[in-house]
Amino acid sequence: MSENVIETQDLTVYYGKHRGILDVNLTIEKGEVFGFLGPNGAGKTTTQRVLLDVFPPTTGKATVFGLDCQKDGVEIRQHIGYLPGELALYSNMKASDFFKMYEYLRKDIRSNGYWKELSGRLDLDTSRKISQFSRGNKQKVGVVAAFMNRAELLILDEPTGGLDPLVQNTVLEMVRETKADGRTVFFSSHNLPEVQAVCDRVGIIRDGQLIATQRVEDLFAQRMNRMTMIFEGPPPAGVFKYDGVTETELSEQSITLEVRDNLPAVLKTAAEHNVRDIETHNVSLEEIFLAYYSKDEGGNNV
Amino acid sequence: MFRLLVQELKFRRNTILGWGLGLCFFPLTYIGIYPSVADEMAAFADLEIYAAMGMSLGTFADWVGSIMIVLLPLIAAIYSISNGTGTLAGEEEDGRLEMLVTLPLPRWQIVTAKALALAISSAIIYLIVSAVSWIVFLVIESQIETVMVGKDIFTAVMAGWPFVFAMGMIAMFLAAFCSSRRFASMISTAILVVGYFGSNLAASTKVLEPFEPFFLNTYLDGTGKAILEGQSTEDTLVLLGVGLVFFILALIFFQIRKLTVGVWPWQRGKVEA
pLDDT tens digits, B159-195? 999 999 999 999 999 998 887 889 999 999 999 999 9
pLDDT number for residue B244: 97
ipTM: 0.77
Question: Residues near B149 by Cβ (< 8 Å), separated by ≥ 6?
Answer: none
Q: Are strands A254-259 and A225-231 parallel, antiparallel or unpaired?
A: antiparallel
| Alpha-carbon span B229 to B249, nearest angstrom | 34
| Alpha-carbon span A231 to B136, nearest angstrom | 102
> In a 10 Å sphere around its CB, with 0-12 CB exposed, 13-18 middle and 19+ buried, how is residue B173 labelled?
buried
Confidence of residue A261 (pLDDT cuts 50, 70, 90): confident
C-alpha of A71 from chain center: 27
Residue B259 contacts A where some CB pair is shorter than 8 Å: yes
pLDDT number for residue A298: 40
Residue B260 contacts A where some CB pair is shorter than 8 Å: yes
Question: Residues near A36 by Cβ (< 8 Å), separated by ≥ 6?
Answer: A44, A47, A48, A186, A187, A188, A189, A202, A203, A205
Q: Which of A22-36, A53-67, A81-95, A286-300 has the lowest mean pLDDT?
A: A286-300
- Cβ-defined contact of B99 to A12 (cutoff 8 Å): no
Residue A245, min C-alpha distance to chain B (Å)? 40
Q: What percent of chain A has pLDDT over 90?
A: 37
- Cβ-defined contact of A54 to B260 (cutoff 8 Å): yes
- Evaluate if residue A73 carries a pLDDT over 70: yes
Residue B7 contacts A where some CB pair is shorter than 8 Å: yes
- Cβ-defined contact of A88 to B104 (cutoff 8 Å): no
Nearest residue in chain A measured CA to CA from B261: A15
Q: What is the mean pLDDT of chain A?
A: 85
> In a 10 Å sphere around its CB, with 0-12 CB exposed, 13-18 middle and 19+ buried, how is residue B232 labelled?
middle
Topology of domain A4-79+152-216, CATH: Rossmann fold (3.40.50)
Residue B186, min C-alpha distance to chain A (Å)? 24
What single-letter amino acid sits at A52? Answer: L
Tens digits of residue pLDDT in A7-21: 999 999 887 778 888
pLDDT number for residue B160: 92
| Alpha-carbon span A133 to A140, nearest angstrom | 10
pTM confidence score: 0.81
Using an 8 Å CB-CB cutoff, list chain B residues near A49. 98, 260
Using an 8 Å CB-CB cutoff, list chain B residues near A53. 101
Between positions 185 and 214 of A, the ones with CB within 8 A of B are none
Distances (CA, A) of A280 to A51, A244, A262, B158: 44, 16, 15, 83
Q: Domain residues of chain A, as ranges?
A: 4-79+152-216, 88-145, 224-282
Buried b (16+ CB within 10 A) or exposed e, A55-73: bbbbebebbbbebebeeeb
pLDDT number for residue A1: 45
Q: Kindly report the CATH class assigned to A224-282.
A: alpha beta
Torsion of CA A47, A51, A56, A60, to 10 degrees: 70
Using an 8 Å CB-CB cutoff, list chain A residues near B258. 15, 54-56
The one-digit pLDDT tens for each residue of chain B (273 residues) are 777 888 888 888 899 999 999 999 888 988 888 888 877 777 766 666 666 665 666 778 888 888 888 889 999 999 999 999 988 888 888 888 888 889 998 999 999 999 999 999 999 999 999 999 999 999 988 888 888 888 889 999 999 999 999 999 999 999 988 878 899 999 999 999 999 988 888 877 888 888 888 999 889 888 888 888 888 899 999 999 999 999 999 999 888 887 766 666 665 544 443
- Evaluate if residue A276 carries a pLDDT over 60: yes
pLDDT number for residue B129: 94
Radius of gyration of chain A (CA): 23
Query: Average of pLDDT values for A78-87?
Result: 89
Query: Average of pLDDT values for A53-77?
Result: 91
pLDDT number for residue B113: 93
- The candidate with the shortest Cα–Cα distance to A245, out of A172, A301, A184, is A301
- Evaluate if residue A230 carries a pLDDT over 70: yes
Torsion of CA A261, A262, A264, A270, to 10 degrees: -100
Q: Which of A47-56, A153-162, B57-66 has the lowest mean pLDDT?
A: B57-66
Residue A221 contacts B where some CB pair is shorter than 8 Å: no
Residue B271, min C-alpha distance to chain A (Å)? 6
| ∠ CA A98-A101-A104, rounded to 5° | 155
Confidence of residue A288 (pLDDT cuts 50, 70, 90): low
Cβ-Cβ contacts under 8 Å between A and B: the total is 80
Q: Which of A16, A53, A101 is nearest residue B267 as measured by Cβ atoms?
A: A16
pLDDT number for residue A32: 94
Phi, psi of A119 (to 5 degrees): -60, -40
Tens digits of residue pLDDT in A233-259: 888 878 888 888 888 888 888 898 888
Select the more confidently predicted residue: A212 or A168: A168
Phi, psi of A25 (to 5 degrees): -115, 115
- Cβ-defined contact of A56 to B106 (cutoff 8 Å): no
| Alpha-carbon span A82 to A156, nearest angstrom | 6
- Evaluate if residue A300 carries a pLDDT over 50: no
Confidence of residue A102 (pLDDT cuts 50, 70, 90): confident
Q: What percent of chain A has pLDDT over 70?
A: 89
Crossing angle of helices A114-121 and A165-180, rounded to 10°: 140
Contact assessment for residue A5 and residue A184, using Cβ atoms and an 8 Å cutoff: yes
- Evaluate if residue A139 carries a pLDDT over 90: yes
| Alpha-carbon span B90 to B172, nearest angstrom | 11
Using an 8 Å CB-CB cutoff, list chain B residues near A14. 269-272
Confidence of residue A186 (pLDDT cuts 50, 70, 90): very high
- Evaluate if residue A2 carries a pLDDT over 60: no
